[in-house]
A and B are shown apart, each in its own frame.
Chain A
Amino acid sequence: MSQIRNSNVLDVLLWLLRQRQRFRVEGVSMLPLLLPGEEVLVDRRAYWRSPPAREDLIVVRSPDQPSFRLIKRVVLTRQDGACFVQGDNPSQSTDSRVFGWVEPLFILGRVTSRFL
């Protein structure tokens, strides 16, 4: 399972310049990678030029409940950019196994680092 690096000065600078967005993780579906309460930085423009790739950690809107933002891992991708996402802790995760493929419109960005 791929790791996530910690943010460095450049990441913080990008955040200050509004090129990265901070999010606080709630829930246990991304254990052991992300603990509840940890923060991540997200690049919301990551997929403007290229589609998501397998293993990417992404933030999406829940297809069932679009106001609900989820953090999951990309397991499969489709030609049109849609993703099949899953939690790293599958026994404690509601993900594409429940709500199906996530359309590109619902993909908010790629997690670039852990904010600390």
Chain B
Amino acid sequence: MLSLKTIATRIKTWFPAPIVHAHCDGPCGVYDPAAARIAAEAVLSMTKKILELQPPDGGDLKAMAAYENTITRYVQIKEEQTQLTKKELLVLWTDYFKPVHLEQFPDLHTQFWNVAKLCSACKVEVSLQHANELMEAIETIQKMFWVTKNRTDVPWYKAS
């Protein structure tokens, strides 16, 4: 018997649906380092939580299962959020910043290279130092970003 999924696939091929746009007037021109900052805050928070979480004593299997469940969730969120931080930063680097900004900030490429490496480090390790450095690096990028837009009224703040 044909599954619902197979039928749906055939319907999609034989009777194409009208388009609905999940679009961006590419380039939409809406950029904000805040997206990277929020993700990086989650990385920092998860790093702290992983380091603080204590395994249970002895042979309490239930407590052990709860511990492993919690630590797995923390690690998973850290993985996701480091990847997201990196993606948001790469969008700024490759889509927002233009050659003209390099004149203003000659070390722009190095900054992004370093911050992308920091994301990788935070993903691989459980390092409070690197998570804090990641936040600092994003703060630097936020400052550069708003300077290029001639804005001085955007403060650096954290959600957490």
A residues near B (Cβ < 8 Å) are 7-9, 12, 21-31, 34, 36, 39-40, 42, 59, 62, 68-72, 87, 90-94, 97-98, 115-116
* B22 proximity list for chain A (CB < 8 A): 25-31, 34, 36, 70-72, 87, 93
Q: A23-B18, A91-B88, A91-B91 are in contact. Are A12 and B25 (CB under 8 A)?
A: no
Task: A9 to B7: give the CA distance in the assembly, Å.
Answer: 11
Tell me whether A39 and B17 are in contact (CB under 8 A).
yes
Q: Is the CB of A27 within 8 A of B24?
A: yes
Q: In the complex, what residue of chain B is closest to A25 when comparing beta carbons?
A: B22
CA of A79 to CA of B122, assembled, Å: 45
A68 interface neighbour in B7, B12, B21, B91, Cβ under 8 Å: B21
Instruction: Determine whether the beta carbon of A26 is less than 8 Å from that of B8.
Output: no
CB-based nearest A residue for B91: A91
Residue from B21, B25, B32 within 8 A of A98 (CB atoms): B25
Tell me whether B61 is interfacial, beta carbon within 8 Å: no
The one of A29, A39, A91, A116 that contacts B23, using a Cβ cutoff of 8 Å? A29
Question: Is A23 in contact with B8, judged by CB distance below 8 angstroms?
Answer: no
Tell me which residues across on chain A come within 8 A of B23, comparing CB atoms: 26-27, 29, 68, 70, 93-94
In whole angstroms, what is the CA distance A98 to B22 when docked? Answer: 14
Q: What mask results when residues 1 to 42 of chain B are scored 1 for a CB within 8 Å of chain A, else 0?
A: 000110111001000111111111110101110010000000
Closest 10 CB pairs of A and B: A23-B20, A22-B17, A27-B23, A30-B22, A27-B22, A29-B22, A24-B17, A94-B25, A71-B20, A69-B20
A70 to B30, CA, bound (A): 18
A12-B4, A90-B35, A91-B88 are contacts. A69–B28 as well, Cβ < 8 Å? no
Quick check: A26 and B21 within 8 Å, CB to CB?
yes
Chain A's closest residue to B84 (CB) is A32
Q: Closest residue of chain B to A97, judged by CB?
A: B30
A92, B20: Cβ atoms closer than 8 Å: no
Can you report 11 residue pairs joining A to B where beta carbons are below 8 Å apart? Answer: A12-B7, A21-B18, A23-B19, A24-B18, A27-B24, A29-B23, A34-B22, A70-B21, A91-B31, A91-B32, A92-B91
